Amino acid sequence: MKITSFFFTASILLAATSVVSAQDKTDSIKVIYESQNTGHQTDSPEYYVDSVLLKGVFIEAFKPTDIEKINVENKGKGKIYITLKKDVPYNFVTLHSLSNRYLKNKETNALLYTVDGKLVTAAESLINEKDILSVSIASDQAISSLPGGKVTILKVLTKSKLNIDNANRTYIRGNTSGSR
């Protein structure tokens, strides 16, 4: 009876060890599931500017002094109604349309967008063209994690106080003065 008990216990331990060993082999790889983000969050509010629905992701570019009033409706998905002052000009454009307008090489495979230094993942994001201070193109930037390793970055700066102050700043290189 002791021998049977020994073999039974040994077989259970052996089976448990093989199960743990099999789990270690298959579960030792850490898998992270990321949601596919198309740039549109399902619970983000809808933005209306002067009663016009802004489709895509809205990039906030209005100065507080441009806004007459804001109404927020929290029912369901949520809606934000922005009424601009009568004399505020605006023209909404997508980042994709900006890239079509300013990129020389339209065959760019990898294209990233930044607005005021922040990465924007949706090419259909809207921005007020009247609030763009500058657009710069950084071509053939090396990024080792991308296939081919090259990417073009469309950098948009808005007319924020900080960006305007930085644009008007003069930089002097060197640390010596005088003549030799």
**In-domain check, residue 18:** no
Rounded Cα distance between 103 and 116, Å, is 19
Q: Confirm whether 33 is domain-assigned.
A: no
Band (69; pLDDT cuts 50, 70, 90): very high
> Is residue 120 a part of any domain in this protein?
yes
Cβ atoms of residues 155 and 99 within 8 Å:
no
Query: Do the domain assignments include residue 35?
Result: no
Tokens of 17: 């060890």
| Residues 100/106, Cβ–Cβ less than 8 Å | yes
* Domain annotation covers residue 180: no
- Per the model's pLDDT, the better-predicted residue between 29 and 147 turns out to be 29
Residue 11 lies in a domain: no
What is the domain extent for residue 126? 46-167
Percent of the residues in the chain that have a pLDDT greater than 70, as a whole number: 65
Torsion of CA 118, 119, 125, 129, to 10 degrees: 50
Helix, strand, coil share of the chain (percent; to 5) = 25, 30, 45
pLDDT band at 175 (very low <50, low <70, confident <90, very high): low
The pLDDT of residue 53? 83
Is 179 among the domain residues? no
Q: What's the pTM value of the predicted model, to 2 decimals?
A: 0.60
In a domain, 73, yes or no: yes
Comparing 15-24, 36-45, 98-107, 133-142, the range with the smallest average pLDDT is 15-24
Most confidently predicted of 122-131, 144-153, 169-178:
122-131
The domain tally of the chain equals: 1
Say if CB 39 and CB 57 are below 8 A apart: yes
